[in-house]
Amino acid sequence: MIISKQELKDITGAKKAIAHNYLGMHKCKGGIVVRAYLNDAKSCQLIDLRDEMKGRRAMKKLDESGFFEIFLKGLRKPFPYRFRTLRYNGEIRQFYDPYSFPPTIGETDLYLIAKGDDRKIYEKLGSHLRIINGVQGASFAVWAPTARRVSVVGDFNNWDGRYHQMRPLGSSGIWEIFIPGVSQGCKYKYEILAANNDTPFLKIDPYAVRFEAPPYNSSIVWDLSGYEWGDEEWICRRGKTDWSKAPVSVYEVHLGSWKRVPEDGYRPLNYAEIGEQLAAYCKEMNFTHVEFMPLAEYPFEGSWGYQVTGFYAPTQRYGTPQQFMEMVDTLHKNGIGVIMDWVPAHFPRDSFALAGYDGSCLYEHEDPRLGANLDWGTLCFNYGRKEVSNFLMGSALAWFDRFHIDGLRVDAVASMLYLNFSRADWIPNKYGGSENLDAIEFLKHTNDTIHGEYPGALMIAEESTTFEGVTRPVSSGGLGFDLKWNLGWMHDTLDYFKEDPINRKYHHNKMTFPSMYQFTEKFMLVYSHDEVVHGKSPMVGKMGGAYWGDKIANLRALYAYMWFWPGKKTLFMGAEIAQGHEWRYDESLEWSLLQYEEHRGVQAAMRDVAGLYLGDKGLAENDFNPMGFEWINADDGNASVFSFLRFCRGGTVAYAVISNFTPVKRSGYGIWLPWRGEWREVFNSDALCYGGGGAGNKGLVVADDMDIMGRKIGAMLELPPMSTIILKSKNPAIKA
């Protein structure tokens, strides 16, 4: 026996950190030694591939668990070889030795990973099907710096951590191995032995691209190549688009509950089905983008995807990664962009995932005052650790690279920015402040990197505080987001609309206040899923008014007001059909409501006003230009009427938006207008085709000389009850 008894015990007991130093082929005094540790092997032969028939040598079995060794006296030069085993079930196998292959990660890769700036880290860590020296198999690499031992376990080695022990790569904390013969679909996990605990435990692969369904949650070896994309035209157009000056109307979707299939047990649509149906619906409704609530893998259905365990993997619930690609491709071919919710703020405590990954606080902070999110019972990422920030940035980049998405809506940014977010006990930063400097730097670097790598990508912040510069470029000291959800506007408008119309005059300022800060950031107006759950009522239920018809009319008027207020737009699914109950993640939307005129009317009104916004590119170009907005009258609280102008690029075209948020029809209502002539009534939420009463201005208003509100030009209007009307005119002083 060449190996010592203690070394043999270390290997067979899976306690030796560097199995590669003992297993495989090694030069030694007087010759070459070859060792193998093989599960379920009764006997083993070494096959010299230089002469497979004559070069067979029986190896000595040193341990009943499958440890074999052979000493080749006098040989000095290593040679290519395979093993041939007879298993206890009588099966004969020939295969290559995992310990005969060089590392798949080079020194340059290790340098970039340690630096925290490897933009293709997902091509190094995780599992990857490869051909090395003509041998097919899979490489595995994982970051676990404090572990004593890491093994790949799976359905190819009976989930036994004694076999396929990985090697550490220097001081990087990365463990790696190439296993010949592992193929597509093999399930695996990492078995880890912590520094101060002799009980090994199992963890999923943080970089895996596919997972087994709960409760097993195994990572799955999967090849992402082979899908033939057909969205080149869309990607090219996206790269040339400045979305701050283009129409952006986003339809927020929870894939599992948008539509279900009644004839098939009410199952959710799969990726391919929803791609076709959603593309057609978004085109019909004049949405420019769809935003999916998180589709990265998550174990608990009730988290809606916001407690992620697989940051690189499309959830298995709706199909394979390639079917996810097909969904995105279909949407792109139909001119619909794809935004996905991304959750770098926190992660769940599930024992099989990131929490305490290598037996230490690896991805999270050790101090719970920094590492625990008390609101959600989750853990916060340690953004100051370069490998952690690289893991997260790599996740963001991978969704753009591998799956061609067009943007990320970054969830819970406020919880990242502040060390005292929802905490009574917290630790100030090095300057004594409450800002999380590491998280701020991470967001800046990620936004800058994504914009540099993927022109036209949209980065959207769900950020609810007054943090300055969220949408300012990083080069100018900002965080570098393209858009910020305007949650203040959302709360103020809903607080106003929940009031009975008779009381709204006392809350008039809620609608006018957002104009005070409207142009401090690049805002996106949003009514999201958060507003229609947990007892908050569906959108139609929020509307004040004594009667159902009033509530429906309120909703039509609100959507028209929203789509012509400055900024980009997001609306959660179901809101456009006046969903009757709160959103339920495990049920379909109430599409049956469209048999009723009132619900069809809300849908049609939203479609048409979004079509006006989409159809006039000059309007969207001024979404963030203060010169593109002006109040006509912000002070008519007694009548609960709001009126404002939206100017298109260059001031050549203007829209006048007038909203009457009471059930009283107002005839002879005077407003000033910027120029004389005809103003076409291009939208009226009270039109008969929307289920309204049909009051209005018969499609045309003429502005003429009159003294009104201190101005010299104006018009007299009929304002329908509970309505928004939109007038459009071209400046007659500017020739076509």
Write the CATH number for 380. 3.20.20.80
205 and 290 assigned to the same domain: no
Q: Examine residue 530 and state whether it is found in any structural domain, yes or no.
A: no
* Token code pair at residue 110: 């290790």
271 Cα distance to chain centroid: 16
Environment class of 258 (CB within 10 Å of its CB; exposed 0-12, middle 13-18, buried 19+): buried
Average pLDDT over residues 656-682: 97
499 and 480 assigned to the same domain: no
* pLDDT tens sequence across 16-39: 768 999 999 999 989 999 999 998
Q: Examine residue 285 and state whether it is found in any structural domain, yes or no.
A: yes
Is the pLDDT reported for residue 602 higher than 70? Answer: yes
**What does each C-alpha distance from 266 to 29, 261, 331, 460 come to in angstroms?**
69, 5, 24, 33
Q: Which of 324, 274, 275 is nearest to 295 (CA)?
A: 324
* Token code pair at residue 139: 């490489």
Q: Examine residue 28 and state whether it is found in any structural domain, yes or no.
A: yes
> Strand 92-95's sheet: what is its strand order?
56-58, 41-48, 81-87, 92-95
476 and 580 assigned to the same domain: no
Q: Measured between alpha carbons, how far is 98 from 106 in angstroms, rounded to an integer?
A: 18
Is the pLDDT reported for residue 637 higher than 80? Answer: yes
Question: What pairing do the DSSP bridges indicate for beta strands 723-730 and 31-37?
Answer: unpaired
Percentage of the residues of the chain whose pLDDT score is greater than 90: 90
Q: Examine residue 527 and state whether it is found in any structural domain, yes or no.
A: no
Q: Measured between alpha carbons, how far is 636 from 629 in angstroms, rounded to an integer?
A: 18
Beta bridge partners of 142: 175
Question: What pairing do the DSSP bridges indicate for beta strands 135-143 and 723-730?
Answer: unpaired
Q: Measured between alpha carbons, how far is 33 from 12 in angstroms, rounded to an integer?
A: 18
- In the prediction, which pLDDT does 51 show? 86
Residue 121: CATH number of its domain: 2.60.40.10
Which residue, 436, 458, 485, sits at the end of a domain?
A: 485
Cα angle 189, 190, 193 (rounded to 5 degrees) comes to 145
* Token code pair at residue 454: 């993927």
Beta bridge partners of 666: 719
587 and 670 assigned to the same domain: yes
Which residue, 220, 245, 274, sits at the end of a domain?
A: 220
> Which of 326, 411, 636, 681 is flagged as catalytic?
411
443 and 587 assigned to the same domain: no
Is the pLDDT reported for residue 434 higher than 60? Answer: yes
Task: Identify the band that residue 152 occupies on the pLDDT scale cut at 50, 70 and 90.
Answer: very high
Q: Examine residue 461 and state whether it is found in any structural domain, yes or no.
A: yes
**What does each C-alpha distance from 4 to 9, 62, 69, 114, 555 come to in angstroms?**
9, 11, 12, 36, 80
Q: Measured between alpha carbons, how far is 632 from 105 in angstroms, rounded to an integer?
A: 64
209 and 280 assigned to the same domain: no
Domains identified in the chain, total number:
4
Helix, strand, coil shares, percent, the chain, to 5: 30, 30, 40
Is the pLDDT reported for residue 388 higher than 70? Answer: yes
462 is catalytic: yes
- In the prediction, which pLDDT does 15 show? 81
* pLDDT tens sequence across 48-95: 999 887 889 999 999 999 999 999 998 989 999 999 999 999 999 999
Q: Measured between alpha carbons, how far is 243 from 337 in angstroms, rounded to an integer?
A: 11
Say what angle helices 321-333 and 386-403 make with each other, to 10 degrees: 60
**What does each C-alpha distance from 530 to 491, 533, 544, 549 come to in angstroms?**
11, 6, 20, 25
- In the prediction, which pLDDT does 732 show? 83
Task: Identify the band that residue 736 occupies on the pLDDT scale cut at 50, 70 and 90.
Answer: very low
Task: Identify the band that residue 1 occupies on the pLDDT scale cut at 50, 70 and 90.
Answer: low
> Which of 69, 462, 598, 718 is flagged as catalytic?
462
Average pLDDT, the chain: 95
583 and 442 assigned to the same domain: no
* Strand residues in 598-722 grouped as ranges (E): 629-633, 641-647, 653-660, 666-672, 677-684, 700-708, 711-719
Q: Which of 360, 354, 358, 352 is nearest to 380 (CA)?
A: 354
Q: Which residues touch 268 (CB under 8 Å, ≥6 apart)?
A: 255, 256, 257, 259, 260, 261, 317, 318
122 and 32 assigned to the same domain: no
> Rounded to the nearest 5°, which phi and psi values hold at 675?
-155, 160
When mean pLDDT is compared over 15-29, 360-374, 401-415, the highest value belongs to: 401-415
What is the 8-class DSSP label of residue 175?
E
358 and 479 assigned to the same domain: yes
459 and 559 assigned to the same domain: no
Q: Examine residue 453 and state whether it is found in any structural domain, yes or no.
A: yes
Neighbours of 661 (CB within 10 A): 28
Exposure letters 464-483 (e unless 16+ CB within 10 A, then b): beebeebbbbbeeebbbbbb
* Token code pair at residue 588: 């379909």
Which residue, 220, 246, 277, sits at the end of a domain?
A: 220
Longest distance between any two alpha carbons in the chain, whole Å: 110
Q: Domain containing 586: what range? A: 493-520+548-736
Average pLDDT over residues 330-342: 98
558 and 415 assigned to the same domain: no
* Token code pair at residue 52: 């497979």
470 and 507 assigned to the same domain: no
**Three-class SS state of 677:** strand
Q: Measured between alpha carbons, how far is 169 from 103 in angstroms, rounded to an integer?
A: 8
Helices (H), 543-596: 548-564
Question: What pairing do the DSSP bridges indicate for beta strands 523-527 and 568-572?
Answer: parallel
> Rounded to the nearest 5°, which phi and psi values hold at 157?
-140, 30
Q: Measured between alpha carbons, how far is 274 from 287 in angstroms, rounded to an integer?
A: 15
106 Cα distance to chain centroid: 30
First to last CA, the chain: 95
Q: Examine residue 133 and state whether it is found in any structural domain, yes or no.
A: yes
- In the prediction, which pLDDT does 735 show? 55
| One-letter amino acid for residue 244 of the chain | S
**Three-class SS state of 278:** helix
* pLDDT tens sequence across 439-450: 999 999 999 999
Q: Which residues touch 156 (CB under 8 Å, ≥6 apart)?
A: 179, 181, 182, 186, 188
Environment class of 223 (CB within 10 Å of its CB; exposed 0-12, middle 13-18, buried 19+): middle
Q: Examine residue 290 and state whether it is found in any structural domain, yes or no.
A: yes
Residue 505: CATH number of its domain: 2.60.40.1180
pTM across the whole model: 0.95
